[in-house]
Structure 1
Amino acid sequence: MTQFQFNLNMELLKDSVMNSNIDAVVKSTIVLVLNEYMEKERDDYLKAEAYERTDSRQDYRNGYYPRDWTVSVGKIKLKVPRTRSGDFSPSVFERYSRVDQALVLSMLEMVINGVSTRKVTQIVEQLCGEQVSKSFVSSLTEKLDPIVKQWANRPLNMKYYPYIFADAMYIKVREHNKVVSKAVYIATAINQEQKREIIGFKIDHEESYEAWQDFFKELKSRGLQSPKLVISDAHKGLKKAIEREFIGTSWQRCTVHFKRNIIDKLPKKGMGQVTQDLKRIFDAVRVEDARLFRDEFFNTYEDNPKLEKALKILDEGFEDAIQYYDQPVQYHTFIQTTNYLERLNQEVRRREKVIRVFPNNQSAFRLIGAVLMNLEELQARKRRFIRKEE
């Protein structure tokens, strides 16, 4: 690497230190250093000092041009040396452009992590001493569009996903001068390497059979094969779409949602033992034990008229809630509920709350996609979370 030795104008630097605040001192120092660095770099390029006559000279000096440049401490004004041919280009801007990139990436990271556009502009102003408009921050986030789109449309035919989890959450979007509710469909999976993966998401109108069917068709068009099991809540449209699009796939009703539906039908008081006996059914290790505990639950409480509705829900949904027993035992804890997907939704919700109302569908797709990509990257770094069967 080329080495330069040069002298700074210490008197000018001293005046800056004595008569300015610390921000001005830092800026002045950077200007002095970079201007001197570019000057020496031009000398090295020309192979001749100023007014020096030499056979090795490559070009001639041609003055300077001013350039404003925003770095991490704010905007500075530099004197950029040039040559007569115009072929000389200081390496400063190329080398230090990483500072600008880092600033842009930091701004994007703040947005993805739930910092509002207004707060981002305030933070940048405090750090750099320069005002950044909200529209500028918004334009920067648009750089995420092709990245998110590529990730959301990546092929799924390189792996097999035996277990898929599906759920929807709702957001507010401005559409035709009105604030409307939109559904965000998210699908995660456990892949053949025993790792979790976010395999798809989509923003559409209210949760319905047609919307879920379109979502699953998109996943299949990207190469998704029919899984062994799809885990979800009991939304009728979702369940019907699973049956139509994944022939031969079993549907596992989320046991957490199922128990919650049953408990909601219980009287508010005096149900401690009933709740405990209900949970006992789904804590069973073997399917035979689960059925035995279910039968004992009915024998104990079927004569209680206050429990009629709860017993009916248990009877009608029991088989759908124990489909996970047909899978290897080491998977049972992970495939009987949509808990992981619920936590994922909470992470999205935490960032979405800062926005409150998305200006359009594209901005919602951009932010939610970026958040999911970030969470996916963190998850990919982890080792497989399911031990192989002994």
Structure 2
Amino acid sequence: MTQVQFNLNLESLTGKINHSNLDEITKAAIVLVFNEIMKKEQDDYLRASSYERIESRVDYRNGYYERELILSSGKITLKVPRTRSGEFSPSLFERYSRVEQSLVLSMMEMVIQGVSTRKVTHIVEQLCGQNVSKSFVSSMTEKLDPIVRKWSTRQLNAIYYPYVSVDAMYIKVREHQKVVSKAVYIAQGFTNRNKKEIIGFMVSHQESYEAWKEFLQSLKQRGLASPKLMISDAHQGLKKAISTVFIGTPWQRCTVHFKRNLFSELPKKGMEIEKAIIKDIFNSLDAEMAREKLEKFLVTYKENRKLQKTLTKLEEGFEDAIQFLNEPIKWQRHIRSTNSLERLNQEIRRREKVIRIFPNDNSAFRLIGALLIELDERKSQKNILS
């Protein structure tokens, strides 16, 4: 393994810590590490250290040039070592995050298609030089796309996922010279080993029964066995698709979305007590307790005209929203809503804002897939019930 030693300028680092935010400190540390790694790789390539005169030397140092790199924490500037022959190339820029590669690649595609902003063009020029050719983009695509495709089509039959939550978010994609809205479908499974995994995603047209059915069938074809519970919001097409593809699997309505719908029907003011009671219903220890609290609430407020729409909605959607109470207590807070998927959506949205409009479906699939792989790798190290 390559050993890298650092000569730290403590005064400089102390100044950065005292006068910078955490992001700047992180970037400064990354710059330090990356620069040292590239210098070590140059030593290995030359087969000689600085000022070392030996027969095994294959080339000579020729200073540095600056190159910017886009990372999750922002843009950093690195000092890249050169050799006289120009043949040395550090591996860093080939190895950096799949997410960063896909982000840059999406920007390049925008430049080639003539739809980039000045900001995007500048970033691409800084990263890749003045000329961004289609062949260069193709070469990057060939390296990254197979990774995302392989991950997104992997078999799921080796692990049983008793609980699966699904959700969709919207992005903008350029298609036939127009900007259209596309849905990103994501599924997350909870394993018997107390882990959660992203088990599938798809970029398609707006939410519909047909699109949801296609997505769920793709999961089933990859080996997903019928879960004990499917969790989602109350999209009618999704509900129908779940009952069609996974016959007999109960559906858990996201309690967070359900309560929002209920509260939207309440008067704007003076409803704090009523809201607290509704929340308490879903905090019950078991389904029977929840039903008892519901009955008491309905009887207490049955004559209140201002609450009639809320009472009707609550009664109609109640059983679908308390399915999680039939499962072991240790799982209940994890499967009562799609909150964990909402957080994934926020991560995707944070990256998607950089591009705003994807140049095509493949670009969206690549960036979102690379980000989900990275997030999934992080989650795989955590026990959600610990």
**Could you tell me the percent identity over the aligned residues?**
48
Paired residues of 1:114 and 1:351 also in contact (CA < 8 A): no
Q: Following superposition of structure 1 onto structure 2, how do residues 152-163 of structure 1 map, counting pairs within 5 Å?
A: 152-163=152-163
TM-score, normalised with respect to structure 1: 0.73
- Could you tell me which residue of structure 2 aligns to residue 40 of structure 1? 55
CA contact (8 A) 1:230 1:252 kept: yes
d(CA) in 1 for partners of 2:130 and 2:195? 41
How many positions carry a matched residue from both structures?
A: 319
SS in 2 for 1:224: coil
- C-alpha displacement at 1:191, in angstroms? 1.1
Partner AA of 1:386 in structure 2: L
Query: Secondary structure, in 3 states, of the residue corresponding to 1:199?
Result: strand
Alignment partners' CA distance in 2, 1:112 and 1:74: 22
Match in the other structure for 1:259: 259
Match of 2:384 in 1: 385
Structure 1 unaligned regions, length at least 5? 1-25, 44-63, 81-92
Conservation of the 8 A alpha-carbon contact between 1:121 and 1:134: no
Query: Relative to structure 1, is the Cα distance of residues 291 and 131 closer, same or farther in structure 2, using a 3 angstrom cutoff?
Result: same
Deviations 1:189-217 (A, max 9, x none): 10121100000000110100000000011
Distance 1:272 1:373 in 2: 42
**CA displacement, residues 182-241 of structure 1 (integer Å, 9 cap, x when unaligned):** 000000010121100000000110100000000011011111100000000000000000
SS at match of 1:213: helix
For 1:185, the aligned partner's letter is: Y
Q: Do structure 1's residue 78 and structure 2's residue 84 form an aligned pair?
A: yes
Whole-Å Cα distance in 2 between the matches of residues 114 and 311 of structure 1?
51
- Corresponding position of 1:321: 321
Aligned to 2:206: 206
Mapped contact 2:161–2:225 kept (Cα < 8 A)? yes
Q: CA deviation at 1:131?
A: 3.0
CA gap of 1:372–1:304, structure 2 versus 1, over 3 A, is same
**What is the match of residue 105 of structure 1?**
95
Alpha-carbon distance in structure 2 between the residues aligned to 1:148 and 1:256: 32
How far 1:141 moved relative to its partner?
4.8
Q: Write the distance in 1 (CA, Å) between the matches of 2:182 and 2:228.
A: 30
8 A contact 2:105–2:140 mirrored in 1: no
Q: Which residue of 2 aligns with 1:249?
A: 249
Check the 8 A contact 1:35/1:79 in 2, yes or no.
Answer: no
CA apart distance, 1:294:
0.5
TM-score (norm 2): 0.74
Q: CA deviation at 1:35?
A: 11
Deviation at 1:386, TM superposition (A): 2.1
Looking at structure 1, the residues matched to 124 and 206 of structure 2 have their Cα atoms a distance apart, in angstroms, of: 37
| 2:276 aligned residue | 276
> What is the DSSP-based 3-state SS (H/G/I as helix, E as strand, rest coil) of the residue aligned with 1:318?
helix
Alpha-carbon offset, residue 73 of structure 1? 3.7
Q: Is 1:370 matched up with 2:363? A: no
Instruction: Label 1:195 to 1:228 Cα distance change in 2 as closer, same or farther (>3 A).
Output: same
Rounded to whole Å, the distance in 1 between the matches of 2:97 and 2:380 is 24
The alpha-carbon deviation at position 358 of structure 1 amounts to: 0.3
Q: Return the offset for 1:327.
A: 1.1
Q: CA deviation at 1:120?
A: 9.5
Paired AA for residue 369 in structure 1: G
**CA distance in structure 2 between the partners assigned to 1:200 and 1:104 by the alignment:** 27
Q: Classify the secondary structure of the residue corresponding to 2:351.
A: helix
CA contact (8 A) 1:113 1:371 kept: no
> CA separation of 1:192/1:135 partners in 2, compared to 1, >3 Å: closer, same or farther?
farther
Map 1:232-243; keep pairs closer than 5 Å: 232-243=232-243
Deviations, residues 281-312 of structure 1 (Å, cap 9, x unaligned): 01111212111111111111111111111111
Question: Where does the alignment leave 5 or more consecutive residues of structure 2 unmatched?
Answer: 1-38, 68-77, 108-118
Q: Contact 1:121–1:131 at 8 Å: present in 2 too?
A: no
Range with bigger deviation, 279-288 or 131-140 = 131-140
CA offsets, 1:325-361, max 9 Å, x none? 2211111111111100111111111101111000000
Residue of structure 2 in register with 1:131 after alignment: 129
3-state SS of 2:289 partner: helix
Tell me if the contact between 2:102 and 2:366 (Cα under 8 Å) persists in the aligned partners: no
Given that 1:121 and 1:132 are in contact with CA atoms closer than 8 Å, whether structure 2 keeps it comes out as no
